[in-house]
Amino acid sequence: MQILEFVLQVMLSLTSLLLTLLILLHKGRGGGLSDMFGGGMSSALGSSGLAERNLNRFTVVLALVWFVTIVGLGLLTKFAEL
């Protein structure tokens, strides 16, 4: 059980880091933190529609993996106490 908990904790750390980076990569919609990383540039220099869609898909899949990892850790913790 300790190995599974360790694997889930590592997955949680990696997905949290990647999810933060992916969210920061999204195109800004009016100021904020994305302007600091070049989000305020003109649309000609921004990402294409396909790249933005793929980024959205990857972010959603990673968020689902993050959520399942959180639920798995919660269940593991709950049943380890019994």
The alpha carbon dihedral of 43, 27, 51, 56 has a sign of negative
Question: Domain for residue 41, yes or no?
Answer: no
Question: Domain for residue 57, yes or no?
Answer: yes
pLDDT tens, 21-73?
Answer: 999 998 776 655 556 666 555 555 555 688 889 999 999 999 999 999 999 99
pLDDT band at 19 (very low <50, low <70, confident <90, very high): very high
> Domain total for the chain?
1
Cβ atoms 62, 12 nearer than 8 A: no
Place of tokens 């889930």: 8
Please say if the pLDDT value at position 76 is more than 90. yes
Q: Which pLDDT value is given to residue 71?
A: 97
Question: Domain for residue 32, yes or no?
Answer: no
Dist. CA 35–CA 4, nearest whole Å: 40
Q: Where are the alpha helices (DSSP H) in the chain?
A: 2-25, 33-36, 49-81
Structural domain harbouring 6: 1-26+49-81
Q: Which pLDDT value is given to residue 42?
A: 52
Place of tokens 């302007």: 35
Q: What is the DSSP letter of 27?
A: P
Question: Domain for residue 38, yes or no?
Answer: no
Q: Answer with the residue of higher pLDDT: 82 or 24.
A: 24
Question: Domain for residue 65, yes or no?
Answer: yes
Q: Which pLDDT value is given to residue 51?
A: 86
Question: Domain for residue 4, yes or no?
Answer: yes
Question: Domain for residue 59, yes or no?
Answer: yes
Question: Domain for residue 61, yes or no?
Answer: yes
